Amino acid sequence: MRNAPYHSVQENKVPTKSCTKPVMLEWLNKNNAEASLTMRKYELFHLIELHKPTEKTFKIDEFIRSHGHVVVRLPPYMCDLNPIELAWAKLKSIVRQHNVNSDLSLKRLKEVTELALGQISEEDWRGFDDHVIILEENYWLRDALIEDTIDQFVIEVSEGDNSDSDSDLTVILESNDD
């Protein structure tokens, strides 16, 4: 599931500091946290922080789970890891192929779209999934390479270490400035 706004409507959305006092009170009451109208906003927000869930829940995720499925959310801006993007690309390509006269009426567009949907096979979906799995594996591999490369450049400094290595580092840095 990508993180489009319509996929990310939260259940029990936690109020922010900028919310009104009535909104904060309503949320606290729904979540069985005692609060009163006499409390200041900063006190209400402190209570909210104490009672907020550890993870956000989304309406669509709950709906999908209720039908026995597991939701996997994609990292932001990683649409290449979503097989449906490949299906949309194929569908749009087929629609373009059938629009040679550029006179696609709404009725004709519906017909061509239904035709295109019928041409996306189970085998295509397996191919889309396989392609995404290969991409994901490549991302993991590159991530490990980057992590290993960064680890080679990290200088560890321990607390209370006043040995000559600090002065050696100063000499090295000064010689590099020349």
Q: Are residues 68 and 91 in the same domain?
A: no
Tell which of 14, 47, 73 closes a domain.
73
> Tokens standing for 94?
């087929």
Q: Are residues 50 and 118 in the same domain?
A: no
Range of the domain at 53: 1-73
Tell which of 41, 73, 105 closes a domain.
73
3-state secondary structure string, 47-106?
A: HHHHHCCCCCEEHHHHHHHHCCCCCCCCCCCCHHHCHHHHHHHHHHHHHHHCCCCCCCCH
Q: Are residues 12 and 41 in the same domain?
A: yes
Q: Are residues 90 and 178 in the same domain?
A: yes
pLDDT recorded at residue 32: 92
* Amino acid letter, residue 21: K
The neighbour count for residue 20, using CB atoms within 10 Å, is 10
pLDDT recorded at residue 150: 78
* Amino acid letter, residue 24: M
Element of type H or E holding 3: none
pLDDT recorded at residue 114: 94
pLDDT recorded at residue 132: 94
Tell which of 33, 56, 73 closes a domain.
73
What are the CA-CA distances from residue 65 to residues 4, 6, 57, 83 (Å)?
A: 18, 17, 11, 20
Q: For the chain, what is the domain count?
A: 2
pLDDT recorded at residue 164: 53
Q: Are residues 103 and 41 in the same domain?
A: no
Q: Cα–Cα distance between 84 and 131 in angstroms, integer?
A: 11
pLDDT recorded at residue 161: 53
- pLDDT tens-digit readout, 75-103: 888 888 999 999 999 999 999 888 877 77
Q: Are residues 147 and 96 in the same domain?
A: yes
Q: Are residues 47 and 85 in the same domain?
A: no
Q: Are residues 100 and 159 in the same domain?
A: yes
Low-confidence ranges of the chain (pLDDT < 50): none
pLDDT recorded at residue 127: 97
